[in-house]
Amino acid sequence: MTKIRIAVQKSGRLNEDSLAILKDCGISIDNGKDQLKATSRNFPLEVFYLRNGDIPQYLRDGVVDIAIIGENVLIEKGKDISIAERLNFSKCRVSLAVPKGVTYNSIKDFEGKKIATSYPNTVKEYLASKGVTAELHIINGSVEIAPNIGLAYGICDIVSSGSTLFKNNLKEVEVMLKSEAVLAVSPTISEERKELLKKIQFRIKSVLQARN
Ligand code: PRP
Ligand code: MG
């Protein structure tokens, strides 16, 4: 039987809520925590646990058919990938921040400065739209530490509760975009799997309605 293949974040903030929504859709997954692939017992679906940043490429290549992913990741590296549903969880902002002690006036303050980030495309596009040129320092995690160790003037990263900024003595000065978890679809999904996607979408819609 044909199964639809879904990518879910392997570990991190999206993982739990992603599995929870599948569960609420009545899709149960046998979950060996260390397994990178799992199969549903009661729906023709396979789950692939992947790193967030790799998911757009897997969708593009058709290695997976759909994914639960932060919209911010699609904006950063999956603009060609379409969104089937917005999922109303994992809400966050992608923002610029600077040390608390810095007097900040406007985006022009970033001119010629160094910004540490895991979202280079998003920052570049935002700065270009404001006519500002800055130097980017690309790092994959713990971005908020960069200004404190003299690596950058400011940072661009995800802000959710704001506690990471707070703990690192930073303040949010520009909100570049708002994001939430979405159901993304591979451009190469087959007709047969599209039918399975429709069933999942139908269930998701009623789950989201019931949650409201
Ligand atoms: C994410 C993100 C921010 C933080 C935002 O990092 O990169 O640092 O969460 O959440 P908050 O506003 O609620 O504090 P994560 O903890 O996933 O670790 P990483 O950056 O090292 O991947
Ligand atoms: Mg972080």
pLDDT at 6 over 80: yes
Instruction: Specify the ligand 1 atom closest to the Cα of 160.
Output: 12
Q: 212 pLDDT band (50/70/90 cuts)?
A: confident
For 143-167, what is each residue's pLDDT tens digit?
999 999 999 999 999 999 999 999 9
The mean per-residue pLDDT over the stretch 91-96 comes to 98
ipTM exceeds 0.85: yes
- What are the phi and psi torsion angles at 28 (to 5°)? -95, 140
The mean per-residue pLDDT over the stretch 192-209 comes to 98
pLDDT at 41 over 80: yes
pLDDT at 78 over 90: yes
Q: Is the CB of 12 under 6 A from ligand 1?
A: yes
Contacts 24+ apart (CB under 8 A), 140-149: 143/116, 143/117, 143/118, 144/97, 144/168, 144/170, 146/116, 147/98, 147/99, 147/116, 148/99
Q: In residues, how long is the chain?
A: 212
Q: Is the CB of 94 under 6 A from ligand 1?
A: no
- Give me 208's structure tokens: 């989201």
Q: 42 pLDDT band (50/70/90 cuts)?
A: very high
Does the 92-179 domain belong in CATH 3.20.20.80? no
Q: Which of 76, 123, 160 to mutate to test the pocket of ligand 1 (most atoms within 8 A of CB)?
A: 160
The residue assigned the tokens 């540490």 is 116
pTM, entire model: 0.94
Q: 32 pLDDT band (50/70/90 cuts)?
A: low
Q: Is the CB of 140 under 6 A from ligand 1?
A: no
CATH of domain 4-90+180-211: 3.40.190.10
The pLDDT of residue 134 is 98
Torsion from C-alpha of 190, 182, 18, 40, nearest 10 degrees: -10
The pLDDT of residue 33 is 63
Q: Is the CB of 52 under 6 A from ligand 1?
A: no
The pLDDT of residue 116 is 98
Q: 30 pLDDT band (50/70/90 cuts)?
A: confident
The mean per-residue pLDDT over the stretch 177-206 comes to 98
In the chain, what are the domain boundaries? 4-90+180-211, 92-179
Is 92-179 in the same CATH topology as 4-90+180-211?
yes
Reduced to 3 states, what is the DSSP secondary structure of residue 176? strand
**Contact (CB, 8 A) for 89 and 17:** yes
- Give residue 5's identity as a one-letter amino acid code: R
**Closest by Cα among 136, 140, 118 to 127:** 136
The mean per-residue pLDDT over the stretch 174-185 comes to 98
